[in-house]
Amino acid sequence: MKKTIPLWVGLGVVLAALVLARLVGNRYVYFAGYVILQYVVLATAWNVLGGYTGYVNFGTAAFFAMGVYTALALSMAVHAPLPLLILAGGLSAGLLGLGIGYLTLRLRGVFFSIATLALSVVLQTVAMNWEYVGGAKGVSIIRPKPMAPFADYAEYLFVVMLVLAVASVMLARWIQNSWIGRGLAAIRDNEEAAECMGVPTLRLKLFATTASGFLMGMSGAPYPYYVGLVEPVSAFSLDYAVNSLAMPMIGGTTTWIGPIVGAFLLGSAQQVATVTISSEVNLLIVGIVLVAFVLLAPQGIVGLVQRLGRRRRA
Amino acid sequence: MARYGTSGTWRRLVGTALIAVIVLGMTWAPAARAAEPIKIGFGMALTGALAGNGKAALMAMQMWAEDVNKKGGLLGRPVELVYYDDQTKPAAVPGIYTKLLDVDKVHFIVSGYGTNVIAPLFPIAMERNLLLMGLFGMANNEKFNYKSYFQIMPSGPNPALGWSQGFFEVAAKQQPKPQTIALVGADAEYPHNALVGAREHAKNFGFKVVYDGKYPPSTVDYTPIIRAIKATNPDLVYVASYPPDTAGIIQAAQEVGLPVKMFGGGMVGLQFAALQTKLASKLNGVVNYEFYVPEPTVKFPGINEFLARYQAQAEKAGVDPLGHYIPPFSYAYVQILGQAVEATKSLDQKKVAEYIQTHEFSTIVGKVKFAPNGEWAQSRVLMVQFQNVQGSDVAQFKKAGTRVVLYPEDWKSGTLIYPYSKAQK
Amino acid sequence: MAGILIGGFYAAVTLGLSVAFGLLEVVNIAHPGFVILGSYMAYVMNRSFGLDPILTGLLFIPVFYGLGVALYRVYYTGFERTGEESLRGLVFFFGVLFIVEVALLLAYGVDYRMVEARYIGQSFHIGMVGIAYRLLIPCIVGLAMTLALHLVLSKTFFGRAIKAVSQDSQALRLMGANPVRIKRIAFGLAIATTSLAGALLILIGPVEPSIGREYIGRVFAIVVLGGMGSIGGTLVASLVLGVVESLTATFYGPTWSLAVSFGILLVVLAVRPSGLFGR
């Protein structure tokens, strides 16, 4: 019974959010909510590799776009239903993670990070030259009609992303608490020592990159239906890399809660800013906050809360 | 890690509560307004890649709103523009427009600037049967064939062809007739479309394509490209480029030397003061597209007053000081909307859309009529040649004489100096 | 031919990173951001005072040096001392890069900025081949910078101390030099080079805030290919990259040339991480 508590809570969250969203009564909630939830997935995914294992991935966009383009290609070719597209997107991005991991994880962490940057650029060039998915000019896609009980395709996308978010958080929590998580933490703290103690570092790292990539790809799959136009510049946008990095850093990298906190805070702030002050000062703030947190509050908000908790108890 | 075992559920409840608070907060903040003013909502590129033009477009639209309100508004009610920065990001568009429609309760939506931010609007407009005015998007309606979409760029019913028509027509008239052409463009959406049209024209006009290449928009050095083109010895060179590459290509052509008969065609950027004054006399002889130039043959009612007002504000606002490219058209596309609303005396999307579909409008960019696919019924892409450019003062571009119209015939204001090498000074 | 010229320019851009990353092992991802900053400084001086960009570049060297020193202090107190370099140091510099880019964006907008100098647009011709001054001068300056840095590193006390600190800081301390101070000076030097490199960049072509990102891959590819800590290796690698990019542009189409540099990086990392001349 104890093992299934998380499952029930997860379902509870989904239903609660759904009901609340319906109550609010306008469709804007679905769009804004979709974006925030998408970042929950991305931040959580990033954190599996970044926070748990200590390997910084600058190429979130590559994995995200892998999901986007796989879903796009499949949708155009065989009109597959969305759940299948999500799975396919996740699988291809996961494979990408495996591949890049295999190539570079035997080197130091720093080289892995640089390689992820390179990956983004190379993939973007490939996407720009692949005429089937529109090449540089991109391709417009028409959404399918919504099915019951959803009134609206936007609501459907929102729920899909909600389910993805809950699922990825549960996965991250599971990883964190399992022997895999302990192994990853050992790698993060001191890779050489971990090796000496017999931790199968390479395999664990590969697992982390694959899982991370898998989640990122899944979050990208509904993108073609959400926006309607897929083109390389926006699919590979730097925003994804910066946000998926900043959110866990701000929220807290050592636990599964941190990315959620970061995603909600930063994501909401950005959504609000888009429709209020709407300027690039918004981006500047992200950068400054990120640097501030990295310097002053390396454990993120979760860490701050923990420290406060400890102080109170002492 | 065990610490989270018992407080895990608590934290999850907090998390759900957090979701609820944020979701409610976002919708509470902007209260729905009373129905007095007529609201036109849109996203505009105020930051991001197209911000320069986006800001200029917004300025022109605000000028229109001022003008209308001075005369008593639309249907007796004041007009209000509700807009947000779309950051030139297609992904921001669905959110912004849903907010405009569902929260701000705007009466009409018009698009932002550029093909990429117009595309995401189609599902939204089609779902709700809304009228959609488009600002400078190329062939957005091709896939959808939505009847209530109208686009203000004068490229004509077949944008790809209309775009370069002038270049080819002018070239074909020269004696002896040119034989060969080189095509080159940036690897991006607009140049791709433009070159598709150019290739078809080349076939129809009987020019042999001896070079057909593209380059990444981030190219730093254009000399290899010019050299490659030069090596094929073409008579004509048609380029479809964006401002940074436009500058690079023209400079490289000067450095390496390009002894061809006609050069230019679809170079974006030469319509703006920044590049005109930077490249100055290097532009002489280049044949390029324009939508409006201050030539005596291109006269529209109200355009001169508009430009005078715009130019007065432009310097302070940090936008293009000439305002010949986007601003007149962004004024026109809301002008048409306003005229249609006044004529039908209604705010009903379908009625207004039908009116726009079936009538000709008199705007500050002349007479505008739309084809069934939402584009202009007749293309009015001007082909001009830069002549007599001396020094880098911007004032010369505000007057006639530096951009001589060659095509279409009705608007012709001068003759082509041919070949290109003769026009270069 | 143009490839070699561009290569010389790439060397100028990468030198600083060679020192920072190659010798000091500071993963300064923000390096290209500073280069762009240098470009904008050159632009501003050119627009307001008509100063030649290279002059601006030289003039601002002390300013950038100071920036570098300050940045290093922050980096050191925040990270190196506490021993948690890799993850957070990387993120820190990424944040810095981002801040620099967005700040420039806010200040100057997204439009491309160019400079005017007498020699832009002119070329001198050797027979059939025309060589643009616009490319030649940055290349020459780049070569000069490489030479200068090489001399500083091998002939001066500080230079040799920098090399030593990367190999064995204990021994250095025993010799009476403060390794932290040495590293600070070195990093300052690294950032100082970006002032000049930025000036060269805007000479070659128009600049706008986000083009720094294209250079991240290029400079790291060069540092890795050339070998960590080898200035000569940096030069060779720069030339190689310049030529390969140029050739790819000519034969396969320019679309692929940028991807090529990153591709090289990936390949080198996989096959021979120590690079051509690395330790």
Domain boundaries in chain C? Answer: 2-211
Q: Which of B7-16, B102-111, B195-204, B324-333 has the lowest mean pLDDT?
A: B7-16
Hey, what are B22's tokens? Answer: 């944020």
The per-residue pLDDT for B21 is 54
Confidence tier at B102 by pLDDT (50, 70, 90): confident
| Residue-averaged pLDDT of chain C | 75
CA separation for the pair A89, A41 (Å, rounded): 14
DSSP string across C3-60: HHHHHHHHHHHHHHHIIIIIIT----TTHHHHHHHHHHHHHHHHHHH---HHHHHHHT
Please report which residue ranges of chain C form alpha helices under DSSP H.
2-17, 31-49, 53-59, 61-75, 90-108, 133-155, 157-167, 169-174, 179-204, 212-226, 231-252, 257-271
| Residue-averaged pLDDT of chain B | 84
Q: What is the dihedral of CA B262, B268, B272, B276, to 10 degrees?
A: -40
- B220: nearest CA partner in chain C: C205
If you average pLDDT over residues A1-9, what whole number do you get?
Answer: 66
> Which positions in chain A touch B98 (Cβ < 8 Å)?
26-28, 30-31, 154
The per-residue pLDDT for B3 is 45
pLDDT above 70: percentage of residues in chain B:
91
Encode pLDDT of C155-210 as tens digits.
777 777 777 766 666 666 666 667 777 778 888 888 888 888 888 888 777 777 77
If you average pLDDT over residues C49-73, what whole number do you get?
Answer: 81
Confidence tier at B155 by pLDDT (50, 70, 90): confident
Given a cut of 90, is residue A63 above it in pLDDT? yes
With contact defined as beta carbons under 8 Å apart, do B48 and B89 qualify? yes
The per-residue pLDDT for B24 is 52
Chain B interface mutation, best of A27, A150, A226, highest count of B Cβ atoms under 10 Å: A27
The per-residue pLDDT for B18 is 56
CA separation for the pair A308, A311 (Å, rounded): 5
With contact defined as beta carbons under 8 Å apart, do C11 and C142 qualify? yes
If you average pLDDT over residues B158-175, what whole number do you get?
Answer: 88
* CB within 8 Å: B215 and C254: yes
DSSP state of A36: H
> Which positions in chain A touch B93 (Cβ < 8 Å)?
227
If you average pLDDT over residues B295-312, what whole number do you get?
Answer: 88
The per-residue pLDDT for C172 is 63
Given a cut of 70, is residue B22 above it in pLDDT? no
CA separation for the pair C95, C81 (Å, rounded): 20
Please report which residue ranges of chain A form alpha helices under DSSP H.
5-24, 28-47, 60-78, 82-104, 109-129, 153-177, 179-189, 191-196, 201-220, 223-227, 232-235, 238-251, 257-275, 281-296, 300-313
Mutual angle of helices B121-128 and B93-102, in 10-degree steps: 30
Is A277 in the C-facing interface, judged by CB distances under 8 Å? no
The per-residue pLDDT for A276 is 66
Given a cut of 80, is residue C93 above it in pLDDT? yes
Tell me the one-letter amino acid at B217. Answer: P
> Which positions in chain A touch B123 (Cβ < 8 Å)?
142-143, 153, 228
Selected residue with higher pLDDT from B104 and C116: B104
CA separation for the pair C244, C238 (Å, rounded): 10
Q: Which residues in chain C (38-97) have CB-CB distances under 8 A to chain A?
A: 74, 78, 84, 86-88, 90-92, 94-96
Handedness of CA C29, C34, C36, C37 (dihedral sign): positive
ipTM of the complex: 0.74
Which residues on neighbouring strands pair with residue C130, listed in sequence order?
Answer: C125
The per-residue pLDDT for B62 is 92
Encode pLDDT of B392-408 as tens digits.
788 888 888 888 888 88
Confidence tier at B32 by pLDDT (50, 70, 90): very low
The per-residue pLDDT for A111 is 74
Chain B interface mutation, best of A240, A274, A279, highest count of B Cβ atoms under 10 Å: A274
CB atoms within 10 A of CB B309: 17
Encode pLDDT of A259-299 as tens digits.
888 888 888 888 777 666 655 666 777 778 878 887 777 77
Hey, what are B194's tokens? Answer: 């433009």
Q: Which of B154-168, C72-86, C107-121, C197-211 is predicted most confidently? A: B154-168
The per-residue pLDDT for B131 is 92
Given a cut of 90, is residue A145 above it in pLDDT? no
> Which positions in chain A touch B189 (Cβ < 8 Å)?
136-138, 231
> In angstroms, how far is the first alpha carbon of chain A from the final one?
34
CA separation for the pair B130, B78 (Å, rounded): 21
If you average pLDDT over residues C67-83, what whole number do you get?
Answer: 73
Given a cut of 50, is residue B4 above it in pLDDT? no
* CB within 8 Å: C106 and A115: no
> Which positions in chain B touch C123 (Cβ < 8 Å)?
255-256
Given a cut of 80, is residue C257 above it in pLDDT? no
Q: How far is CA B231 from CA B182, B183, B210, B255, in A?
A: 11, 13, 10, 15
pTM value is 0.78
- C214: nearest CA partner in chain A: A121
